[in-house]
Every structure is written in structure tokens, then in C-alpha cells.
């Protein structure tokens, strides 16, 4: 019966994980709702507070709230899915398969970022209904490309974050602490420069901080973000994202070693 051994494919494994995530989401799509509540509220409050700040403020609010939604979905989805792997007992057979768990996580994170787009879309529709349409983006193609890249920056954070869930069953509290700290720290809703100076370097550790600032430079004429401007933001986003993804493989190897030493894969 023993067949010829074939190698796993990183791309196929990532796609398989993404596909399974979609199927599981379709079986129970209610989890999209909690990740949208906070962004919609933040967006509406911001809009009411800064109603007179100009037409482009709408763009700012939509981008920020959309990003919050995407992050919420990434955070909940990626970490939660691994937590569920523990709960359902599927972490052991998945880790025991030839595919490194990193690629399983990657597939899930990609799906979660994409599903976060639905949340972003709903934020957009809510603000559209309340305040009317925002002004057109000056460079739609550049904006679209950068937007996709910002999704990659979010995925990079999600991958690293998911490692905590593999490492320990107690990662849930990190998720709860991290959610709002991240909203504030990355400047999703309020400019990072409003935060105390000492927090700024922490914000710069997150790839989406750079990516979102670059996106605003591109979408809002006259936007004043970080002093290094659009290209500096873009370079920072690329470097930090590459660093996160580069660290992910080594991190997952260490995490796997740790859980195999502890024998904690089946704990939930």
C-alpha cells in the first residue's frame, strides 16, 4: 500500500488552509460581526467630532475604520483559528503533517485579511449612508496596489501573532490586550503623532503603521503624516514586513520545538 512519497508544496498548503478557512467561515459567518462593531462606532464618532475638517476627512475616517476592521478580523481570525485548532484537537494532526505549520497559518491569515475587507466595505457603506461619498482618490491604481500591500503588512503581523497561540493556550489574553493597543499604536484612527513621544518608536515596529501612513499620503492631498513622507513610509513598510515574514519561519521552528518539548500540543 505504501505509496511513493511526494513533497508538500508551500503554495498548495497555504491555499488549502485558506480554502478550509473559507469553508469554515461560510459554515458560521457570525464572527465577522464583532470585528466590525468597534470600527463602525469609531468611524461615526470621528465623523461627528471632525465634521468640519474638510472633505478628505471622510477618506481618513474610512481608511482608519476599514483598517481597524481588517485588523480585528486578522487578529481574531488568525489567533482564534489556532486556538480552535487546540480546542478541536486538530493542532496535533496538522503539526504532524509534512507541511510546516507556518504555511497553514499563512493561508488562514490571508483569508482573514481578505474577510476583513468585507468589514471595511461595510464601514465604507455606513459612512457613505451617513455622510455621502468621499472625494475621489487621485491615483486609483497606485492606491489599489498599495492597499493590497497594506493587507500583506497586516498578514505579516497576524502570522507572528498566531505563533503565540501555537506556543501557549493562554494566548487569548494577548489578543484582548492587543486589539485596542494596536488600533491606537498603528494610528488607524488617530495620528500616531498625537500619542506621547515615547510611544512613537513602538508604533514603528508594526508594518501597518508605515503602510497606512503611506496609503493616506496617496489618498489625501496635503496629508501631513510622518516627516519622511510617502517614500519613506513605503520603504519602512517593506523593510518591517520583510523582517516580520523573515522572522516568522525561525519563530515557528522555535515554537514547534518548544511545544514538542513541552508536549502541550493537545492542551486546550
Partner 1 sequence: MSSSTWAIETRGITRVFESRKGFLFREATRTEALRGIDLTVERGAIFGLLGPNGAGKTTLTKILSTLLLPTGGTARVLGHDVVREAGYLRPRMGLVLGGERGLYNRVSGRENLRYFADLYGIPLAERDRRISEVLARVDLEGAADRRVEEYSRGMKQKLHIARGILHRPEILFLDEPTIGLDPKSARETRKLVRSLLADGVTIFLTTHYMFEAEELCPELAILSKGRIVARDTVARLRQLVGGDRTLEAEAYGFEDREIDVLRHLPGVSKVLNEEFGPVSRLTIRVRTEETRPDALREILLPGHPEVAVRERRTSLEDVYLDLVEEEAR
Closest by CA position to 143, among listed 256, 219, 222: 219
Under the binding rule (CB under 8 A), the answer on residue 19 touching partner 1 is: yes
Burial 64-95 (b: 16+ CB within 10 A, else e): bbbbbbbbbbbbbbbbbbbbebbeeeebeeeb
Q: Are 210 and 237 in contact (CB under 8 A)?
A: yes
Select the span of 5-13, 53-61, 126-134, 138-146 touching partner 1 (CB under 8 A). 5-13
Q: State the minimum distance, in angstroms, from the CB of residue 83 to partner 1.
A: 14
Q: State the minimum distance, in angstroms, from the CB of residue 44 to partner 1.
A: 33
Binding letters toward partner 1, positions 98-137, x by CB under 8 A: xx----x---------------------------------
The cell for 240 is: 518591517
Closest by CA position to 94, among listed 167, 27, 13: 13
Under the binding rule (CB under 8 A), the answer on residue 254 touching partner 1 is: no
How far apart CA 130 and CA 65 sit, in angstroms, is 14
Q: 51 vs 254, which CB is nearer to partner 1?
A: 254
Under the binding rule (CB under 8 A), the answer on residue 253 touching partner 1 is: no
Q: 65 vs 105, which CB is nearer to partner 1?
A: 105
Q: 13 vs 203, which CB is nearer to partner 1?
A: 13
Q: 97 vs 224, which CB is nearer to partner 1?
A: 97
CA angle 74, 36, 136 (to 5 degrees): 95
How far apart CA 42 and CA 45 sit, in angstroms, is 5
Give the footprint of partner 1 on this chain (CB under 8 A): 1-3, 5-9, 12-13, 15-17, 19-20, 23-24, 27-28, 88-90, 92-99, 104, 257, 260-261, 263, 265
Amino acid at each position: 500500500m505504501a505509496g511513493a512519497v511526494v513533497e508538500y508544496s508551500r503554495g498548495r498548503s497555504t491555499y488549502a488552509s485558506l480554502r478550509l478557512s473559507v469553508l469554515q467561515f461560510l459554515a458560521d459567518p457570525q464572527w465577522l460581526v464583532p470585528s466590525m462593531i468597534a470600527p463602525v462606532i469609531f468611524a461615526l464618532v470621528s465623523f461627528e467630532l471632525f465634521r468640519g475638517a474638510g472633505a478628505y476627512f471622510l477618506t481618513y475616517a474610512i481608511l482608519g475604520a476599514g483598517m481597524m476592521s481588517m485588523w480585528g478580523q486578522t487578529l481574531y481570525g488568525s489567533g482564534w483559528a489556532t486556538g480552535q485548532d487546540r480546542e478541536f484537537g486538530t493542532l496535533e494532526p496538522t503539526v504532524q503533517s509534512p507541511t510546516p505549520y507556518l504555511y497553514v497559518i499563512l493561508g488562514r491569515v490571508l483569508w482573514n485579511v481578505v474577510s476583513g475587507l468585507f468589514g471595511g466595505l461595510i464601514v465604507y457603506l455606513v459612512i457613505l449612508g451617513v455622510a455621502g461619498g468621499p472625494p475621489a482618490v487621485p491615483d486609483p491604481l497606485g492606491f489599489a496596489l498599495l492597499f493590497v500591500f497594506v493587507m500583506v503588512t497586516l498578514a505579516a503581523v497576524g502570522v507572528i501573532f498566531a505563533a503565540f497561540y501555537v506556543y501557549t493556550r493562554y494566548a487569548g489574553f494577548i489578543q484582548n490586550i492587543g486589539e485596542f493597543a494596536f488600533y491606537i499604536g498603528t494610528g488607524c484612527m488617530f495620528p500616531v503623532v498625537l500619542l506621547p513621544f515615547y510611544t512613537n518608536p513602538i508604533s514603528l515596529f508594526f508594518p501597518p503603521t508605515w503602510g497606512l501612513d503611506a496609503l493616506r499620503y496617496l489618498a489625501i492631498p496635503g496629508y501631513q503624516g510622518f516627516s519622511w513622507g510617502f517614500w519613506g513610509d513605503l520603504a519602512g513598510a517593506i523593510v518591517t514586513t520583510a523582517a516580520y515574514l523573515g522572522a516568522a519561519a525561525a519563530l515557528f521552528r522555535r515554537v514547534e520545538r518548544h511545544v514538542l518539548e513541552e508536549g502541550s500540543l493537545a492542551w486546550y
